[in-house]
Structure 1
Amino acid sequence: MAQLRHARLGALELASAGGSGHRFDKHSHDEFVISANLRGDEQIWLDGRTFAAGPGAITTYNPGQIQGGGVAEDRPWHFVSLYVTAEQLTQTLGLGALEFARPLRHLPRLAEALAAAVETGLHADPFLRERGEERLIRLLGEVARTADVRLPSCAASGRGPVVRLQEWLAAHLQEAPSLDDMAAHLGLSKFHLLRSFQQQTGLTPRQWAMQLRTCRAQALLRAGRPATETAHALGFADQSHLNRHFRAAYGLSPGRFQRALRG
């Protein structure tokens, strides 16, 4: 396999692999494995069964299942995979238990969405990695639904938890709380938290916090605060991250914004 990228993102391990054909010996994982095949015709052996997974296939393996297979030599192949423990997956989705009954489903749009989210999660930019984590957690819920798993409803929680989280995020902008911190603060699963927040605000919690950071950055810059101090005060990784998000929100850099104020 010509290229393999691998990283940990919160409770998830991510992998993106591409190149020419490759075969894996029979093996097992302690975690759930969820893969999306983007290119190539994979032949899979799973607990004594064999089947084919072409482009657009989503494959799901329960912990401990014996698997093997791959793509023929010199044939192109590109896939992404997520690895997550049973405890982490059930906690993330707010379930007591979970087992995938069907290992293969042809879902091209979901496969592409998973691949895009994994690529974002592997990015060097920490803010983009956070966006990737949020997207992957929502997509894990979609994967579970395609396997006929019934997820907990968030209708009964109302607006209260979202308001409490907004207040908490506003008070902790410099700290940039993790999704685990947010979920623990509200007593919700991460999937339930993200779904409720996006339904009511149209943004993820981190997107909402970022727009509040840029709004407060504008106020500090207007008051004459240097951009470097503003970035530090509001939890940006550095001034370049402030520049990027400020320009995306307001169409100009912090420096140009302050020069325009001075006339």
Structure 2
Amino acid sequence: MKLESLNETIFENIESSNGKFSKHFHDTYTIGLTHDGKFQSINQNQTTLSYKNSTRIINPGEVHYGNSDSWKYTNFYPKIELLAQIHEQVYFEKKIPIFTKHIIEDMTLYHLLLNFFLSAYENNDKLLMESNLINAMSYLIKNYTDTTRDYSGLFDDKLIVKNSIEYIKDLLDTNISLEELAMNSNLSKYHFLRVFKKQMGLTPHQYILTQRVHKAKELILSGEKLSHIPFSVGFNDQSHFIRNFRKIYGYSPKELQKESNFILYK
């Protein structure tokens, strides 16, 4: 049976990763487990090492990157709505939990998340999967939430570039120019570049590349033909697409298409 709260949520289980990840972000949370190896994670300009049996938490919109060394890990990318719902169930108030501790050494949390991941990958029944999800997320929220935000969309406080973000999403498959983005925000190109980088932590170009790669990953997992995807998300050629995809995810689009250890929960 389908679990509605996980609709369109991506899971990934990687046996071994070696290499660098470029600066990027996700509109969702990133919640992952390191099973073996090592990952040097740079998040919010702080460098932290993730070792075996640790949990990694990244808030929506946080720019991060890093280096992997024989890194075996599992990730999933829950939407803001899901954690806000569980926060409401725990505290009777719908808020967006924010976590400042990036790498968490807590075996109870590790095993709660591992149980949830296993039930998702084994396609267990709805009751077991949802119970494991709530047990893991409520433990995380109760023990590691440092602050909360009002449930009104995480990017609503970035008023100057909000219209540009929507503009980019609407025209992701086109050749968007800096002049278009600046005019859309009623700013000079110079001022727009400074404001966007300050608020988002990425240049407009880096932001657009990241969004294109995220969209491509969703299309691959939904069954779209690999040959059609680069052009449908705005890349001009296959090599440019593959290079940027690997920089963000650490594996190629073809690996994602072939392997059974990736899930788009639908």
TM range (shorter): 0.3 to 0.5
TM-score calculated relative to the size of structure 2:
0.47
Query: Based on CA coordinates, which of the two structures has the bigger radius of gyration?
Result: 1
TM-score calculated relative to the size of structure 1:
0.47
The structure, 1 or 2, with the larger RCO (C-alpha pairs under 8 Å, 6+ apart) is 2
